[in-house]
Amino acid sequence: MSPLATGGPSLPQERRLVTEIPGPESSARLERKKAHVADGVGTALPIFVAAAGGGVIVDVDGNSLIDLGSGIAVLSVGNAAPSVVARVQEQVAAFTHTCFMVTPYDGYVDVCAALGELTPGDHAKKSALFNSGAEAVENAVKVARTFTGRNGVAVFDHAYHGRTNLTMAMTAKNMPYKHGFGPFAGEVYRAPMSYPFRDGLSGSDAAARAIDVLDKQVGADSLACLVIEPILGEGGFVVPAPGFLAGLSEWAAATGVLLVADEIQTGFCRTGAWFACDHEGVVPDLITTAKGIAGGMPLAGVTGRADLMDSVHVGGLGGTYGGNPVACAGALGAIEEMRTHDLSGRARAVGGRMRGRLEALAAEHPVIADIRGRGAMMAIELCEPGTTTPDAARAAAVNAACHRAGVVTLTCGTWGNVFRFLPPLAIPDALLEEAFDVVAGAFAATA
Ligand code: PLZ
């Protein structure tokens, strides 16, 4: 049984190791997992969770680990945030499901209204809700194809958009996401991304390079949309050079190609603004959201210009669970928390602290070749000193050392050599500092 009944910010905000990681209770459960759960479902850090909240995850052995991953950028408001818990409890006791397509309810409409207000641009907007990020991306493509009458979908190098058939085609990396799973959906075309550390190009030059590829190899009049993460997520937290997104946006507007911003990882205060596009003054035609939107409940959205969203025939968008009332209640609680506590400001403060620590670390360890990110979405790319040759082995070693020392860290990037930091914004400063002491120790121990 779990040693703790509830999580949330009242959990002691401390790193506490009472066994090795993973401990005996987690190791026993890992054997059960191996017996009953498909091997294809991997696990980055096999501690079984009993409770979580603020900046910690407590496991079944009684260890308390510092969370620098937020369940992959989900827990902006923190785990089991009181505002989310209260609304979810109230909703789950009232009704758990009707299917919005059968009989509607307020929560769905309230979330769509909030998305219309918060996403970039002050034009008339409408939304539709789904269960996962991949599903949102699929539906954004459906809307774009219907509105434009064109089929082509442009995506970028290093992109990650999901694990369904269309979104696998849109995702760049083969292992582990695509290997052996084809054939993939057609009409997906890939253009070069701006990657300042590796290409040294200005934003406008990188945009011209991408536009040239799309012009010559596809033709704008065959493209329904251009789908882009304004900051790459799984692909390595690459922040495109300033002007790259604006250059693409101008070209898209001039050619009738719809600009779809995939803000599933960057959205909802993570980067220090409601959305990453806000930093560049770019207003996408459509935006996909998920992850941080609902404090851990499964919910995703597509939001866009009302005329685009309404181009789809009645009944063309939906699904049994999309915009489930309990998930919508979670979103309304999370959004309230972000609004009342200025979580964008908090993300900037957390990001500033992390950048300072990473700069100090890079001065000592030449394997750290690049520091990048925005707000509380920061990463370091590890390369053989003085080169751009990826050092994935070192990233894996540092990651494992952090895990053993009680800090939940994640890697990412096409070459697996990027170490990324995504703390819950509810993490106390002292705990964040302690986590980076551990990261520094892990670099020293693996040097
Ligand atoms: N678009 C930008 O980051 C999800 C994937 C983890 P789903 N990223 C984490 C994994 O290995 O499966 C993501 C994203 C961007 C789309 C998605 C897909 O969102 O909710 O996982 O479907």
Q: What is the pLDDT of residue 442?
A: 98
Spacing, Cα 226 to ligand 1 middle (Å): 18
Q: What is the pLDDT of residue 7?
A: 87
Spacing, Cα 435 to ligand 1 middle (Å): 25
For the CA atoms of 87, 81, 288, 423, what is the dihedral angle to 10 degrees? 180
Q: What is the pTM of this model?
A: 0.98
The CB of 265 under 6 Å from ligand 1? The reply is yes
417 touches 391 (CB < 8 A): yes
pLDDT above 90 (res 73): yes
Q: What is the pLDDT of residue 9?
A: 86
Least confident of 6-10, 73-77, 133-137, 312-316: 6-10
The CB of 138 under 6 Å from ligand 1? The reply is no
The two structure tokens encoding residue 70: 């937020």
- Mean per-residue pLDDT over the chain, rounded: 97
Spacing, Cα 128 to ligand 1 middle (Å): 18
pLDDT above 70 (res 4): no
Q: What is the pLDDT of residue 1?
A: 38
- Ligand 1 atom with least separation from CA of 137: 16
DSSP letter assigned to residue 9: T
Which residues 6+ apart lie within 8 Å of 142 measured at CB? 312, 316, 317
Write the burial class of residue 263 (CB in 10 Å: 0-12 exposed, 13-18 middle, 19+ buried): buried
Length of the chain: 447
The two structure tokens encoding residue 335: 């959004």
Which residues 6+ apart lie within 8 Å of 238 measured at CB? 158, 193, 194, 195, 196, 197, 231, 232, 372
Phi, psi of 112 (to 5 degrees): -65, -40
Q: What is the mean pLDDT of residues 378-392?
A: 98
Q: What is the mean pLDDT of residues 67-86?
A: 97
Q: What is the pLDDT of residue 6?
A: 79
Q: What is the pLDDT of residue 403?
A: 98
pLDDT above 80 (res 182): yes
Q: What is the mean pLDDT of residues 276-297?
A: 98
DSSP letter assigned to residue 8: S
pLDDT above 60 (res 181): yes
Q: At 350, is the pLDDT very low, low, confident or very high (cuts 50, 70, 90)?
A: very high
The CB of 287 under 6 Å from ligand 1? The reply is no
CA–chain centroid gap for 349, Å, is 19
Query: In whole angstroms, what is the distance from residue 28 CA to residue 44 CA?
Result: 17
Spacing, Cα 3 to ligand 1 middle (Å): 31
Q: What is the pLDDT of residue 414?
A: 98
Please report where in the chains the tokens 């789950």 appear, as a residue: 92
Query: In whole angstroms, what is the distance from residue 271 CA to residue 422 CA?
Result: 10
Spacing, Cα 299 to ligand 1 middle (Å): 12
The CB of 65 under 6 Å from ligand 1? The reply is no
Higher pLDDT, 8 or 92: 92
Spacing, Cα 230 to ligand 1 middle (Å): 14
Residue type, 60: V
Residue type, 110: D
The CB of 263 under 6 Å from ligand 1? The reply is no
- What percent of the chain stands above pLDDT 70? 99
The CB of 411 under 6 Å from ligand 1? The reply is no
Spacing, Cα 20 to ligand 1 middle (Å): 31
Q: Which protein residue has the closest C-alpha to ligand 1 atom 6? A: 72
Phi, psi of 299 (to 5 degrees): -155, 145
Query: In whole angstroms, what is the distance from residue 261 CA to residue 196 CA?
Result: 20
Q: What is the pLDDT of residue 382?
A: 98
